[in-house]
């Protein structure tokens, strides 16, 4: 896909500590704890993928009793740790929301988001709210960071990881052709009986696909 638009990739997991260790063995880098999404009932850790993007390890925050399931990004539907969502940078959320709502009437709701970082600062953003289902959604959501002082990527150290490609698998790729054309996004979708998102990453341990 065209990397300039990519904001981040959401790798949703069942156990954050275990996932950090697993990816450290695969990639040779350790994800850094990010913070909590108090209004969504999740928390995360991040890996710098260079070029202004990052891999977000996302997990349900079971200490947050105020946000019951089902929670966003498919965290309550996981059959395994995997990429479930991905986000594009955008400062035209209303236009993007209109396009997404034509693909799925439940998509397209614009919401304000925030989380506290491990250092205690507050990140703010607006986004087109990802849905709790399906488990894996190939169509991206959009994030607008223009109202915050910084981007999460800028707070991350260089880790020696770089995204080579993000691509999708779907039983009928033609079903999604129009939505990506409308969004102006080049995105490779392979024909496969299983719906999935895959990232090819250049890492200190070589080229790895997750």
Residue 47 forms beta bridges with which residues?
A: 55
- The DSSP code sequence of 157-199 is PP-S-EEEEEEEEES-GGGGHHHHHHHT----EEE-SS-EEEE
CATH fold group of domain 3-209? 2,3-Dihydroxybiphenyl 1,2-Dioxygenase; domain 1 (3.10.180)
* Per-residue b or e along 1-36, where b marks 16 or more CB atoms closer than 10 Å to that residue's CB: beeebbbbbbbbbeebeebbeebeeebebebbbbbb
pLDDT in tens, 114-149: 777 767 777 889 999 999 999 999 999 999 998 877
Which structure tokens are listed for 64? 């947050």
- pLDDT at residue 2 in the model: 52
Domain boundaries along the sequence of the chain? 3-209
Reported confidence tier of residue 84, pLDDT bands at 50, 70, 90: very high
pTM: predicted TM-score of the whole model, two decimal places: 0.93
Query: Is the distance from CB of 136 to CB of 82 less than 8 angstroms?
Result: yes
- pLDDT at residue 139 in the model: 98
Which structure tokens are listed for 116? 């506290």
């Amino acid at each position: 896909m065209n990397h300039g638009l990519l904001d981040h990739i959401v790798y949703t997991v069942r156990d954050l500590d275990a996932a950090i260790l697993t990816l450290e063995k695969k990639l040779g880098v350790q994800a850094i704890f990010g913070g909590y999404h108090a209004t969504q009932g999740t928390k995360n850790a991040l890996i710098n993928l260079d070029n202004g993007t990052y891999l977000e390890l996302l997990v349900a925050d079971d200490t947050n009793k105020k946000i019951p399931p089902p929670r966003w990004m498919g965290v309550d539907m996981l059959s395994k740790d995997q990429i479930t969502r991905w986000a594009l940078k955008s400062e035209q959320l209303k236009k993007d929301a209109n396009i997404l709502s034509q693909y799925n009437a439940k998509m397209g709701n614009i919401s304000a988001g925030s989380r506290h970082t491990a250092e205690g600062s507050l990140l703010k953003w607006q986004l087109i709210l990802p849905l709790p289902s399906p488990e894996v959604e190939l169509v991206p959501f959009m994030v607008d960071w223009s109202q915050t002082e910084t981007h999460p990527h800028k707070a991350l150290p260089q880790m020696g990881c770089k995204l080579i490609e993000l691509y999708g698998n779907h039983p009928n790729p033609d079903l999604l052709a129009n939505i990506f054309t409308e969004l102006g996004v080049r995105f490779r979708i392979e024909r496969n009986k299983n719906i999935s998102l895959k990232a090819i990453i250049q890492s200190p341990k070589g080229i790895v696909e997750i």
